[in-house]
Structures are given as structure tokens and as C-alpha cells.
Structure 1
Amino acid sequence: MVVDDPTSKGSKRKNPEETTRISIQIPKKGGHATAESDTTDAPPNPPKKKKATRSTTGRALLQGGSTQNLAA
């Protein structure tokens, strides 16, 4: 018996005929994503400061780890 069903061949991908495209509009950063509450107490760009502190602390930890390895 010969079966031409693509699911029987073990292919996990769907055929291009079966795929459907769903387009969703995503607001960009800095846009007003919260339409329900316009009054927010959060500062406009908090992640920028966090990224800067993470990179500096990460470097300090790497340097501290290398000195401990040399002492041991």
C-alpha cells in the first residue's frame, strides 16, 4: 500500500498551501502602548541606564574572577 500523505513521511512542516499569514501591528518603543492609562509614573527610558550598569558590573565581575583564579 502506498500513501502520499505528507504527515506519514515524518515531515513536521506544513505545506505552503496550508499556511496562513496573520499580521499584527506591534507598537514601536517609545510609542503610547498603554491607551487605557495615559498617566504613568515611570520614567520615559529606564532600560538604557540598566544596560549601562549591567555591562560595567559584568566587566568588574570578570576581572575579579580572573584574579581569584591567579591566586589559587
Structure 2
Amino acid sequence: MSKEIMAEAIKAAPPVAVTTASLAGLSLAEWVSIATFIYIGLQVGLLVPRYWREYRAWRDGSDETDVPGDAT
């Protein structure tokens, strides 16, 4: 029974999100813009420190970039 409820909740999520956004006074386009800005901010926050470590390693002449998960 809980799998059925979860499946129905997942199916209903997009329309519920749009309705909630509309009731909050912002159009769907504005909410997409807000979500895009948040996503870009998170990406910058994650990538800038990584590139900074790689730049420092390159500048110092080190072969290790100290980037976790980097298989190079």
C-alpha cells in the first residue's frame, strides 16, 4: 500500500509545485529563474575551490592536485 501512495505522490508533485508557486505570487518563469540562480550559485561554490586548489598546485609545481575522486 505504501508503494502505491508513494507512486501517486510522485505523480502529483509537479502540479502541486506549480500550484503552490502560483499561490505564492510568483509565476512559473520566475520560480525557474530563482532555481537557476540557486543552482548556478551552488556550482560556483563547488567549482571555484577545486579550481583554486588545481591552480595553486600548478603554480607550486606539484603533481598532485589534492582533488578527491580525480583519477588522473
Question: Which has the larger share of helix?
Answer: 2
TM-score normalised by structure 1 residue count: 0.41
TM-score normalised by structure 2 residue count: 0.41
